[in-house]
Structure 1
């Protein structure tokens, strides 16, 4: 039997007009110390996003999302934040902010496989129901 590991995750949301507090879930970021795992899964459904806000600048949004991916990967291409240890990058990415891309509160859980859990959370929380 595989051992369960503590993980933390947050849902990544696009909030086109912060004052309206309307958002669309577009991704999930998951950190697991025991597995040395920090990854993000993001999907920008442009049709759904345009329904939420017709004036949304998709090029700008793609840049924000790409920065989440780069920072998760770490290294010199991710700027100064990318040089931090994974836990600090996770905390920085999930910090409260009032921009177009925001994260939910951080939630804990237990799983024997962080990658499979990330896929499951992404499917449950981001992908539209059929």
Structure 2
């Protein structure tokens, strides 16, 4: 039986009106230290944002979400935070914020393949809530 590894993940949420605390699941970030894996995937569902009456700057939102990918990738494209260790980057990305892009609480699990687990969680927690599964 293949070995299972501990992973942690959080859901990336767009909070169109922070004061109302309503959100739309937009992505997932997953960290698996045993596989040296830190990655995020997201999609912006324009229809759901309009349903919330969100009048957000689309480019600003895309830039904020792209920053998650850059920080996960590390190196110079992730800026100063991208130079930290995987664990430190994950903790920084999942820290509590009061902005239009936030993350859920961090949840643990076990996986054999972190990339497949990320895809599964994204389909289940983001795409399913968008009514596509």
TM-score normalized by the length of structure 1 = 0.97
Question: How do 1:9-88 and structure 2 match up within 5 A?
Answer: 9-88=9-88
2:91 and 2:54 map into 1 onto residues whose CA distance is 31
CA distance in 1 between counterparts of 2:75 and 2:8 reads 22
Aligned partners of 1:54 and 1:10: how far apart in 2?
A: 23
Q: CA RMSD in A?
A: 0.9
SS at match of 2:110: strand
- Once the two structures are TM-superposed, the CA of residue 16 in structure 1 deviates from its matched residue by 1.1
Q: 88-97 or 49-58, which moves further after superposition?
A: 49-58
Please state if 1:129 is matched with 2:106: no
Count of aligned positions = 130
TM-score, normalised via structure 2 length: 0.95
> Could you tell me which residue of structure 1 aligns to residue 118 of structure 2?
118
Contact 2:17 2:54 in 1 (8 A): no
C-alpha deviation, 1:24, in angstroms: 0.1
> Which segments of structure 1 move beyond 2 Å, counting only runs of 4 or more?
none
Distance 2:123 2:43 in 1: 11
Which segments of 5 or more consecutive residues in structure 1 lack a partner in the other structure? none
Q: What is the alpha-carbon distance in structure 1 between the residues aligned to residue 22 and residue 28 of structure 2?
A: 18
> For 1:120 and 1:23, how far apart are their aligned partners in 2?
21
Give how far 1:53 is off.
2.8
Question: Does the Cα contact within 8 Å between 1:50 and 1:56 map onto a contact in 2?
Answer: no
Per the TM alignment, residue 64 of structure 1 is displaced from its structure 2 partner at its CA by: 0.3
